[in-house]
Amino acid sequence: MAGWIMIILVTLALPRPLYRIFFHPLRGYPGPLLTAVSSIPYVYWTITGVLHARIRELHDLYGPVVRLRPNALTYRTPEAWTDIYGYRKHGALPFSKDPEFFTPTAPGSSHMVNASEADHARQKKLLAHAFSDRSLREQEALIVGYIDLFIERLQEYADSRQDVNIEKWLNFLTFDIIGDLAFGEPFGCLQGSEYHPWVATVFQSIKTGACMRAMAIYPPLLKVFCTFMPSSFTQKRVAHYQMSKDKVSRRLATETARPDIISYIQRYNEDDERGMLRAEIETNAAIIIQAGSETTATALAACLFYLLKHPVWLARVREEVRGSFKDGESITFSAVSVLPGVNAVIEESLRLFPPAPAIGPRVVPAGGAMVDGGFVPGGISVSVAHYSAFRAASNFIEPDSFRPERWLEHKGRFSGDRREALQPFSYGPRACIGRNLAYAEMRTILAKILWNFDVELQPQSASWDDCKSYIVWEKGPLWVCLNKSV
């Protein structure tokens, strides 16, 4: 009897896998048989933090496009960036975000990450003022003030000859900066030399969200996860947005001439049709805190890590910085932006260790579209895999080597690099709005560290970049020894 039940169950289960293998519109795309019939491998790779690495392995095995799930493709070519994320021909809108990946919020409380096309355009128009070159110049003194306080804190470690986990201090710095820009007040991480209770929950909130999003493909699995998930995880996610709401309320009730993100929203928030609702300001502030702190700190830590692993480049960039400025105070946004070595190191670090290493899926519109030279049916989820594209031998010579010179040479061995494949801030109208701010922070912070200190990597952090990812990296400590340069 049990045997007949098994035969019946297998027979009932067969039609869907058979369809996905032999009759599905994506049947001709390469990839493992298991990912063609099931999303279970994708879910497993996500919750174990290895999605970025597995996607790269699949691309190395199957080529520029891979069937990652029954209804999903990933690419690693430069052309895919424009086809998937850019504006389309004849005035057609770019592909929409995959709702299975970007969970919608309640009406009237969307944010830049998951908003509809219309809401995103409206919100971005307002927020663009806060991240423009003009606003960056107005905010420079405020930002540099925090960077100088950061340097003071590091000098205490240099004086005492204590090793320091500089990754933690970079997080302190970027959280304080973005907190002041978003809410008109810092989190006090640098002053207190510790994480604000809210800041300490940010990564866990991102990690939990990544796992829940993957498991939502199988609702029963998500239900089980939510049943056994510690209640503190959910509480932290709720607390994150509640604290954002409270801080926005306090900021809106405060009259100030200081330039911050709220001040720009208020300045241009003309009416209900073109402006932002109160709930939208609150959710966008919460998202900006996550995106504007964790990713910038990660990129800076990667810059230091790779420099410290490559003494020749460390000496070269340190000499460039110290030869360009008479003192630390003369290191400004504009002055450091033209240093070729600093910029090359940042680009190469973003390539090897992108702050968001996996995918940002989009949905092909009804009727289908051409992606990277091939037709993809409507409703299919498509994306460019950051880590895979940035480390593809088809895009970059010596893809796993730290070679900042590839960003300086227009001829020679790296002339065949497809530099346009590197899009760490994504591409198109939904690309990261804080790109200019991030580059200004990274250049200035890196230059001030190299100006003030001789830095040595400690042995326990020799494999710092070997870590898991959950949308962002689950990083360990980056231990260094600091010696004053003067």
Task: Measure the CA angle with vertex 77, ends 304 and 430; round to 5°.
Answer: 75
Arithmetic mean of pLDDT, 352-380:
94
pLDDT at 205: 78
Is the pLDDT at 117 greater than 90? The verdict is no
pLDDT at 9: 45
Is the pLDDT at 336 greater than 50? The verdict is yes
Closest CA to 483 of 262, 189, 158: 158
pLDDT at 12: 47
Is the pLDDT at 458 greater than 90? The verdict is yes
Which pLDDT band holds residue 225 (cuts at 50, 70, 90)? confident
Residue with more model confidence, 50 or 249: 50
Burial class (CB in 10 A: 0-12, 13-18, 19+), 15: exposed
Residue with more model confidence, 359 or 235: 359
Domain count, the chain: 1
pLDDT at 365: 92
Closest CA to 396 of 341, 347, 432, 439: 347
**Considering just the CA atoms, what is the radius of gyration of the chain in Å?**
23
Residue with more model confidence, 136 or 169: 169
Which pLDDT band holds residue 224 (cuts at 50, 70, 90)? confident
Arithmetic mean of pLDDT, 240-265:
80
pLDDT at 184: 81
pLDDT at 57: 97
% of the chain beyond a pLDDT of 70: 92
**Residue range(s) defining the domain that contains residue 477:** 1-484
The CATH number of the domain where 157 resides is what?
1.10.630.10
Query: Residue type at 296?
Result: T
Which pLDDT band holds residue 14 (cuts at 50, 70, 90)? low
Arithmetic mean of pLDDT, 411-428:
93
pLDDT at 8: 45
SS (H, E, C) the chain: CHHHHHHHHHHHHCHHHHHHHHCCCCCCCCCCHHHHHCCHHHHHHHHCCCHHHHHHHHHHHHCCEEEEECCEEEECCHHHHHHHHCCCHHHCCCCEECCCCCCCCCCCCCCCCCCCHHHHHHHHHHHHHHCCHHHHHHHHHHHHHHHHHHHHHHHHHHHHCCCEEHHHHHHHHHHHHHHHHHHCCCCCHHHHCCCCCCHHHHHHHHHHHHHHHHHCCCHHHHHHHHHHCCHHHHHHHHHHHHHHHHHHHHHHCCCCCCCCHHHHHHHHCCCCCCCCCHHHHHHHHHHHHHHHHHHHHHHHHHHHHHHHHCHHHHHHHHHHHHHHCCCHHHCCHHHHCCCHHHHHHHHHHHHHCCCCCCCCCEECCCCCEEECCEEECCCCEEEECHHHHHCCCCCCCCCCCCCHHHHCCCCCCCCCCCHHHCCCCCCHHHCCCCHHHHHHHHHHHHHHHHHHEEEEECHHHCCCCCCEEECEEECCCCEEEEEECC
**166-183 and 261-268 helices, crossing angle to 10°:** 30
Please, which residues have CB within 8 angstroms of residue 63's CB and are 6 or more apart in sequence? 30
Lowest mean pLDDT among 132-136, 239-243, 274-278, 432-436: 239-243
Question: Annotated binding site for heme, which residues?
Answer: 432
Arithmetic mean of pLDDT, 61-79:
97
Question: What distance in Å separates the CA atoms of residue 250 and residue 359, rounded to the nearest whole number?
Answer: 36
Tell me the whole-structure pTM to 2 decimals.
Answer: 0.92
Lowest mean pLDDT among 5-19, 122-136, 268-282, 356-370: 5-19
How many angstroms from the chain centroid is the CA of residue 366? Answer: 29
Of the ranges 210-214, 267-271, 290-294, the best mean pLDDT one: 210-214
pLDDT at 7: 44
Question: What distance in Å separates the CA atoms of residue 438 and residue 442, rounded to the nearest whole number?
Answer: 6
Question: Annotated binding site, which residues?
Answer: 432
The model's pLDDT over 199-214, given as tens digits with 9 standing for 90+, comes to 777 777 788 888 888 8
The model's pLDDT over 376-393, given as tens digits with 9 standing for 90+, comes to 999 999 999 999 999 999
Is the pLDDT at 272 greater than 60? The verdict is no
Is the pLDDT at 91 greater than 70? The verdict is no
Lowest mean pLDDT among 8-12, 283-287, 442-446: 8-12
pLDDT at 107: 61
Closest CA to 447 of 330, 326, 336, 288: 336
Question: What distance in Å separates the CA atoms of residue 189 and residue 400, rounded to the nearest whole number?
Answer: 35
Write down the mean pLDDT value for the chain.
88
Is the pLDDT at 300 greater than 90? The verdict is yes
Which pLDDT band holds residue 234 (cuts at 50, 70, 90)? low
pLDDT at 3: 55
